[in-house]
Amino acid sequence: MARKFFVGGNFKMNGTIESIKGIVKNLNEAQLDPNVEVVIAPPALYLLLVRDQLRSGLEVAAQNVFDKPNGAFTGEISVSQLKDSGITWSILGHSERRTILGESDEVVASKTKYATEGGVGVIWCCGESLEEREAGKTIEVIEKQLAAVSAKIGDWSKVVIAYEPIWAIGTGKVASVEQAQEVHAAIRSWLKKNVSEKVADETRILYGGSVNGKNCKELAKEKDIDGFLVGGASLKPEFVDIINSNQ
């Protein structure tokens, strides 16, 4: 089964009403490859603004979701609230949530379970630090992250995996094509061995980490790279070039 190319744009804690309206307008007017699934993730404050103005066929993601029902959880957003607002995806396990906000593999796995079982898709992030890569522990670290989420979820159909080497996020450093493909292949191999061949064949694995309009086409050619999770470049016009990089 051919995996549909997927490009996500993570705005992180960036943007204003004016600038985000401009990004949405640019996407609405652009000629985008119809064979690519596009999802953008603005800050929570702007989720409804984006969903109201973004053309149909393009989806919106929250940058987080909580693993409990509605209730006394100040500052959090529930799965049912996302669904009520037409938000169909969430980003979970991003290294900034893991390292700055202390989310463990188990917390990320619990959130992933809650989101997928509630009908919200998850862009599930994994990746290693520079120290871990230099110590030769890249695959070990990612397999540990995969094992935690695999222990919690049974249905992988709503999960897209994003491999994001922490040392390449926002630094301008990019994993070489060979480095990226090696890790993507290792993730697919782990899924085949520990989940199922079907899940390994069908799950899309994205690359993230200083992806831009210049390096995306070469990365997109690799057989196990099924798209991108884009940070800073998703705020710029070149995001359209990244979406169209698989043509």
Catalytic residue (one of 37, 128, 132, 164):
164
Give the list of residues 6+ apart from residue 242 with CB closer than 8 angstroms, or none. 7, 211, 212, 213, 216, 228, 230, 233, 234
With beta carbons less than 8 A apart as the criterion, state whether 124 and 93 touch.
yes
For residue 164, indicate whether it is catalytic.
Answer: yes
For residue 184, indicate whether it is catalytic.
Answer: no
DSSP string, 121-134: EEEEEE---HHHHH
CA end-to-end span of the chain: 18
Catalytic residue (one of 37, 59, 94, 96):
94
With beta carbons less than 8 A apart as the criterion, state whether 51 and 23 touch.
no
- Pairwise CA distance, residues 17 & 231, whole Å: 18
Give the list of residues 6+ apart from residue 178 with CB closer than 8 angstroms, or none. none
Q: What are phi and psi of 92, to 5 degrees?
A: -130, 145
Which residues form the catalytic set? 94, 164
